[in-house]
Structure 1
Amino acid sequence: MASKVFAAIDVGSNELSMKVYEITPKKGAREIDYVNSTVELGSDTYNSGRITEDSIMKVCEILNKFRRKMREYDVREYKAYASSAVREAENSVMVLERIKQHTGIDVAVLSNSEQRFMNYKAYAAKSKFEDADTKNRALLDIGAGSLQISIFDKQNLIQTQNLPIGAVRIRDYLAKYGADTVALENIMEEFVSNFIEEFRNLFINDKDIKSIIAIGDGIANLKKVGPELNITDKITRDQFRVLYHKVVETTPEVLSEKYGVPYERATLMLPMAIIYQSFLDNSRAEDIITPDVTFCDGIVADYMDKNGTLLLNKNFDEDIIASANSIAKKYKVNRKHTQNVTQNALDIFDSFKSVHGLGRRERLQLQIAAMLHSCGKFVNMNEGTMMSYHIIMSTEILGLSHKEREEIANIVKFNEYYLPSQTKAQVSLMTADYMKVAKLASILRLADVLDKSHRQKISDMKFSFKDYVLTMTVDTLNDITLEAGVFKTKTELFRKVFGVKPVLKQKRGL
């Protein structure tokens, strides 16, 4: 593959930025240009609920400048994404249409979990997990509207949570309660520490967090405040305390003038410093690692990963699965049962690929649905399926879009419930794809009843597919009368969806 020039555009909550990269097969992505301009979309959305006409015109003007820059480099491919400010605005659809009309640029809106996962990919690509032996690191991704905290043990994601304490949201919401710097700093500290302490009590407990990984532009600006500390890619706990006090004791105007930080960014340094300091105070972290990763780097890393050109030997689907696994663990699912159902579901999925027409991403959704299909029993044994549906709908899974998560929740729901026609089901499905839900729910139904007794009697199956009959041959001496009996009652949806008759056979009886 020859080299290509690619542009990554971030329609952020505080600024618009674009990085232009040269991508080559051997060296990966090399940044060749960076442009940015401030537009505080987040202030519009978080304060009034919608993006103003003036801000829309500014965005279009900036994006047209980006287009001219893209022509200079003969950019043939680009990705443009917007996050929380546009996502949460009540006029988001109109804003995106206006941008398309006036600039020709297609901007896609990401869910929070998709955006944060891209940032994680950028960090993984830049660090290449060189310090893979390090245990329990916390990745802090401070956005304009929220904070994402992800806990890693070596290379494994073990917990992720989103907290509503983004830098712009904190600044604009709390500024009204404190006129002078000292009062504002105290109010912000109390507000932030409440969320961080709750996170610590619920998810960190006795985990020994060794390091914080800080990604985004904010940490780079904080480092500028302490030139005498000679900070490179790591800030010790004592060094950050020095930076923290400097930011607390200095006005944004002075920070901007003295350290060359744009004023709008300088106004965000105090809430960011408070978030980092609060996490240091509530953990045993010894330092803050600063890998110099921005969302534009996340966009190009995601683009390369999806096109098979990211120079990193890592399967990011494993992190999505790990995130789902932490949910299953939290709700104390029957691990042996869910593992058996998951494996059976994946085996059935793989056995007739030529018919179902589904791909790798749908296989991943089926896997997560199987892992979480019984998590609701922790809440209510009688309404376990609906509780599972609600848990999945309300719990973020890092790396999945809201639509994908909605589909997984409905796959779990219609594993047990009757699936009506598309017209009647649309209210429940919302943005979920009806046929995808139908196909994967029908597979999950079969996999689930194969362990109806919850005793894992069926764990080794052979498949044959001929004349639209899918024969599943079980080699076991166990009595599978219960499973076989219920299996016959659960094949109707499968037959309707695929036009395939599933048959269960036992190779050897008792």
Structure 2
Amino acid sequence: MSYKTFAAIDVGSYELAMKIYEISTKNGIKEIDHIRHRIELGTDSYFTGKIERARVDELCRMLNEFTAIMKSYKVDGYKAYGTSAIRESQNRLILLDQIETRTGVKIEVLSNSEQRFLDYKSVASRVKDFQSIIEKSTAFIDIGGGSVQISLFDEDSLVTSQNIRPGVLRMREELARVSYRSYQLEDMVEEMVYDSLESFREMYIGDKKIQNIILVDDYVSLVVQRNYLEMIKKGQVSTESFLNFVDSLKKKKTREIAMSLGLAQENISLLYFSALMLKCMIKVLGAEMLWAPGVSLCDGIAYEYAEQNKLLSSGTDGMPHDFEQDILDCARDINRRYHSIEYRTREREMIALTIFDSMKKKHSLSKRDRLLLQLAAILSECGRYISFANIGDSSYNIIIATEIIGLSHVEREILANIVKYATEKFDYYKILDSTASLDRESYLKIAKLTAIIRLSEGLDLSHRGKCSKLKIVNEEDELLLIVETNADMTLEFGLFDRYATFFEEVYNIKPVIRQKKSNI
């Protein structure tokens, strides 16, 4: 049987972890080793902006050991990702270059949305349990060292995803600067997170009841997985049982907790902070069931590798979860938040995708680029909420300021620029490069997708569904857009050149609109 051996490395804010996997289409993703090393990189970067030399030396020493372990397993590939501790380091590029020079390990830094999406994938890959749980209103809570991500699901759809600070390590370090007694800790934790949680509840939940919580973290999940609480089923406990467990921790000393739970004593402080934060979230959200599947970022990295190398099988639990649909759901939630009219963007979305699909041989764009185009069509009018006169700039600012789970920062910047230039004068590379961190490839992608969005707008000026039946024919130097409708298209014919000129410049193809009268 053919399989791949893969190593996933998570350079986290308070721990360095590596998992070794065997991955095959027949047996799926099988973990065969797990190595963890406690190193609090975030203690430095969160508060001084740099990781001190002694910790860098320790990190490099451990990465060299990881490299030796990978060689012993003869891994076919590896991925090493850094999260918020490295992301927030002021000298990140220097640090990454130094680590690669000393260890040979190339660390890629994830944006927050990319990191949370991989955590989310690690849970969603457990298709049967995940799908059954999110059919009911569910909060997906991902507690990290720097921040917490809360994503809401309802009827199998992602409703919203928001990032809240602080995370457990950042909170512990902030409170280390405060003089308090142990009995005051729970109240202070609640005071630090309650306002954000209450605002989140009012904005996105209202009177609706959250029934389930899915938890991803490094400590509470471990306790739940080890059956220290009364189980509903493996990894699932009632929130009442969990709250009783948290209250029991108050009566014990650190050493006693560590011995009773089989954890290292140095991990107890972060366990307690994580548990107190989760208790506060349960009180605000009112959930009844807690599921801690016991997955980590490494599992998400392995899933991504298997996905990219076509090693995933639907297996016996059903088809893999549709992650792309979750990204689209997030965009539609942004639209609702800014009161965009859905039928207007739906028509433009359909036209843009039809044009894209008809030109596969001419635009050299990828499936991922198709998703960016679809997102641009959906979000093309969100800026109207701020300004009718400056829709492009307003939409750009909304998208740049809004985290879209599953998109990297660069992808979000590309998306924001496509939406901006759909209505604004296009800035050519020299100007665009001076205002954004985009390379030549990204610039060309923006130009090509903007041209399609503009052409879509030219066919949908009145937003009255005139182009619901659209056929596209590619000729040598023309793109025939044949619209079957009996509606009056005088406006579209009269102003079409204004929207087609940029398309012709980018693709060297002249778009031509034709109307075909229906026999009905």
Band of TM-score, shorter chain: over 0.9
Query: What secondary structure does 1:183 align onto?
Result: helix
- Does the C-alpha gap of structure 1 residues 133 and 199 become closer, same or farther in structure 2, counting only changes over 3 Å? closer
In structure 1, the gaps of 5 or more residues are none
RMSD of aligned alpha carbons: 1.9
**Aligned counterparts of 1:114 and 1:252: Cα–Cα separation in 2:** 35
Alpha-carbon distance, 1:445 to partner: 0.4
Report the AA paired with residue 340 of structure 2. Answer: V
> How many Å apart are 1:217 and its aligned residue?
1.6
Does the C-alpha gap of structure 1 residues 249 and 321 become closer, same or farther in structure 2, counting only changes over 3 Å? same
Question: Match of 1:178?
Answer: 179
**Cα distance in 2 between the residues matched to 1:464 and 1:227:** 65
* SS of the residue 2:462 aligns to: coil
Residue type at the aligned position of 1:31 = E
The one-letter code of the counterpart of 2:191 is E
Distance 1:508 1:272, change over 3 A: same
Give 3-state SS (helix, strand or coil) of 2:176's partner: helix
8 Å CA contact 1:178–1:187 kept in 2: the answer is no
Instruction: State the Cα distance separating 1:234 from its structure 2 match.
Output: 1.4
2:56 aligned with 1:49, yes or no?
no
The Cα shift of 1:131 comes to 1.8
Q: Distance in 1 between matches of 2:408 and 2:255?
A: 39
Deviates more, 1:395-404 or 1:243-252: 243-252
The AA in structure 2 aligned to 1:273 is: A
Counterpart of 2:323, as a letter, is F
Q: Could you tell which deviates more after superposition, 217-226 or 497-506?
A: 217-226
Match in the other structure for 1:364: 371
Q: CA offset at residue 419 of structure 1?
A: 1.5
CA 1:67–1:228: 2 relative to 1, 3 Å: same
- 1:404 counterpart residue number: 411
Q: Name which of 468, 474, 496 aligns with 2:483.
A: 474
1:106 and 2:115 matched:
no
User: What's the CA shift for 1:461?
Assistant: 1.2
Please state whether the residue corresponding to 1:149 is helix, strand or coil. Answer: strand
Aligned partners of 1:113 and 1:397 also within 8 Å: yes
Question: Whole-Å Cα distance in 1 between the matches of residues 230 and 179 of structure 2?
Answer: 31
Give the aligned residue type for 2:461. Answer: K
CA 98–263 in structure 1, closer or farther in 2 if over 3 Å, else same: farther
Identity of aligned residues (%): 38
Q: Distance in 2 between matches of 1:415 and 1:227?
A: 56
Q: What CA distance in whole angstroms lies between the structure 2 residues aligned with 1:178 and 1:481?
A: 73
Q: Which amino acid aligns with 1:227?
A: Y
Q: How does 1:296-335 map to 2 (within 5 A)?
A: 296-312=298-314, 313=319, 314-335=321-342
Return 473-482 or 421-430, whichever deviates more: 421-430
Q: Is the 8 A contact 2:222 2:294 kept in 1?
A: no
SS in 1 for 2:29: strand
CA distance in 2, matches of 1:403, 1:247: 43
Q: Distance in 1 between matches of 2:227 and 2:500?
A: 67
Alignment partner for residue 344 of structure 2, among 328, 337, 341? 337
Aligned pairs for 1:363-382 (under 5 A) are 363-382=370-389
Structure-2 change in CA distance of 1:228 and 1:355 (3 Å) = closer
* SS of aligned partner of 2:141: strand
Deviations 1:176-223 (A, max 9, x none): 123321223321121112221111111111222111011132223444
The alignment partner of 1:462 has SS state of strand
Displacement after TM superposition at 1:317 (Å): 0.6
CA distance in 2, matches of 1:192, 1:471: 56
Q: How does 1:176-255 map to 2 (within 5 A)?
A: 176-223=177-224, 227=228, 229=230, 232-255=234-257
The answer to whether 1:439 aligns with 2:439 is no
With structure 2 as the length reference, what TM-score do the two structures score?
Answer: 0.94
**Contact 1:45 1:51 (C-alpha < 8 Å) held by counterparts:** yes
Question: Deviation at 1:33?
Answer: 0.4
Amino acid at match of 1:455: R
CA separation of 1:70 and 1:448: change in aligned 2, threshold 3 A: same
Contact 2:230-2:237 within 8 A present in 1 as well: no
Deviation (angstroms), 1:12: 0.6
The structure-2 alpha-carbon separation of the partners of 1:133 and 1:117, relative to structure 1 and needing over 3 Å to count, comes to closer
Q: Relative to structure 2, which stretch is displaced further, 442-451 or 454-463?
A: 454-463
**C-alpha contact 1:15 1:38 (8 A) present in aligned 2:** yes
Structure-1 residue corresponding to 2:142: 141
Give the C-alpha shift of residue 228 in structure 1.
6.6
> Aligned residue for 2:5?
5
Which one-letter code corresponds to 1:71 in the other structure?
A: K
TM-superposition CA deviations, 1:334-382 (whole Å, max 9, x none): 1111000011000111111101000100000000011001001112222
Structure 1 residue aligned with 2:19: 19
1:424 alignment partner AA: I
Q: Aligned-pair distance for 1:329? A: 1.1
Q: Residues 486, 509 of structure 1: CA spacing in aligned structure 2 closer, same or farther, 3 A cutoff?
A: farther
Q: Which residue is equivalent to 1:97?
A: 97
Secondary structure of 2:65's aligned partner: helix
Aligned partners of 2:126, 2:380: CA distance in 1, in Å?
36
Structure 2: how far apart are the matches of 1:465 and 1:286?
57
Are the equivalent residues in 1 in contact too, given 2:150–2:161 (CA < 8 A)? Answer: yes
Q: Which segment drifts farther, 106-115 or 216-225?
A: 216-225
| Paired residues of 2:131 and 2:156 also in contact (CA < 8 A) | no
Corresponding residue to 1:498 among 490, 499, 507? 507
Distance 1:441 1:482, change over 3 A: same
1:216 touches 1:295 (CA, 8 Å); kept in 2? no
Which residue is equivalent to 1:351? 358
Larger deviation: 68-77 or 150-159? Answer: 150-159
Aligned match of 2:38:
38
State which drifts further: 428-437 or 476-485.
428-437
Task: Find the partner of 1:424 among 419, 431, 444.
Answer: 431
Give unmatched runs, 5+ long, in structure 2. none
Alpha-carbon displacement from aligned partner over 1:475-504 (angstroms, at most 9, x marks no partner): 111111112222211222212211111111
Of the candidates 260, 263, 266, which is equivalent to residue 262 of structure 2? 260
Decide whether the 8 Å contact of 1:222 with 1:243 is kept in 2. Answer: no
